[in-house]
Amino acid sequence: MPLARKKKELEAVLENISDGVLFIDSKGTIRIYNRALSNMLSANEELTGTQIFSLPADNPVRQGIFRVDEGFPGPYCWERNKCPGDTECPGKNTRCCRCWIFSACKSLSSNKDKSCIECPQYKTVRQFLEKPKELEMNDKSISVLSSFIEYSDKDEIWEVIVFKDVTSERIDAVCKLAGALAHELRRPLQVITSCLTLVSDKNPDDAEVKEDYVTMKDSCMRMNGIIEKINHLTRYKTKHYIQKLRILDIEGSAGESDKNT
């Protein structure tokens, strides 16, 4: 099958994927990307054939790539090679951990004693980038995950970066957590209210106790009102089990709520 045809088929598949996908070659050049990436990151310009370091600092695609690198624990390529302070290295300015794309770096070339694919630095970076990272971009929570294509015969490494919008999943998780917390807070609040009533009943003629009782009861009522609002928003439910036990079921709460509405 001709290479051009394979490329068209790949692009057709990518255009039907909801996640943003970006292919970067060994020199850091963007080779393929899909429409979902442009929409997710609000990237309107043509990116094919663009070297990632040539993108403006405020470009969302560049930010999406290099903000992940900021969490790399190190050492970075230029730290490992002890590059001089005046070395013109794009990695130093961005703290880019993708050392294999610095093909024009003299320091890297002079210290290179094996292929990039076999290099321990690359293997360390690869392990880091293969774990999903979450970024806040354009009021969205975006998960970024890389995978790699290695061409041993040409000593080339292509990186495939997947951007996934996880905003709705995060909101759903927060709602479930809020519902669980509200449910757990109600019980100690009921205990506090009961204790306040007991203290007030034991000291019916103490004006100071009565004043404190009213203040604390009002606070408890306000807190209970907040709990009611949280429960209403999250529609949190407990799940019934055998032996009359009620166990919190955070994972299934949303589904059960939908069935009950």
pLDDT tens digits, one per residue of 228-239: 877 776 665 555
3-class secondary structure per residue, 100-155: HHCCCCHHHHHHCCCCCCCCHHHHHHHHHHCCCEEEEECCEEEEEEEEEEEECCCC
Which comes out higher in pLDDT, residue 212 or 147? 147
Q: How confident is the model at residue 159 (pLDDT cuts 50, 70, 90)?
A: very high
Q: What SS3 state is found at 39?
A: helix
Which comes out higher in pLDDT, residue 220 or 138? 220
- Tell the residue number behind the tokens 């900021």, with chain if given: 70
Question: Is the model's pLDDT at 23 over the cut of 90?
Answer: yes
3-165 CATH fold: Beta-Lactamase (3.30.450)
Q: How confident is the model at residue 103 (pLDDT cuts 50, 70, 90)?
A: low
Q: What tens digit of pLDDT does each residue of 167-212 get?
A: 887 777 777 777 777 778 878 888 888 888 888 888 888 888 888 8
Q: Which of 7-11, 94-98, 209-213 has the lowest mean pLDDT?
A: 7-11
Which comes out higher in pLDDT, residue 99 or 25? 25
**Mean pLDDT of the 145-155 span:** 89
pTM, 2 dp: 0.66
The pLDDT, as a whole number, for residue 22 is: 92
Question: Is the model's pLDDT at 241 over the cut of 80?
Answer: no
Q: How confident is the model at residue 129 (pLDDT cuts 50, 70, 90)?
A: very high
Classify each residue of 72-81 as buried b or exposed e, where b means 16 or more C-beta atoms within 10 Å of its C-beta. beeebbbebb
Q: Provide the pairing of β-strand 246-248 with 238-240.
A: antiparallel
Measured between alpha carbons, how far is 140 from 143 in angstroms, rounded to an integer?
10
The pLDDT, as a whole number, for residue 108 is: 58
Burial class (CB in 10 A: 0-12, 13-18, 19+), 139: exposed
Question: Is the model's pLDDT at 86 over the cut of 90?
Answer: no
The pLDDT, as a whole number, for residue 50 is: 92
Q: Where are the domains of the chain?
A: 3-165, 170-236
The pLDDT, as a whole number, for residue 107 is: 59
Q: How confident is the model at residue 112 (pLDDT cuts 50, 70, 90)?
A: low
Q: What SS3 state is found at 14?
A: helix
Question: Is the model's pLDDT at 99 over the cut of 60?
Answer: yes
**Mean pLDDT of the 53-81 span:** 86
For the chain, percent of residues with pLDDT exceeding 70? 78
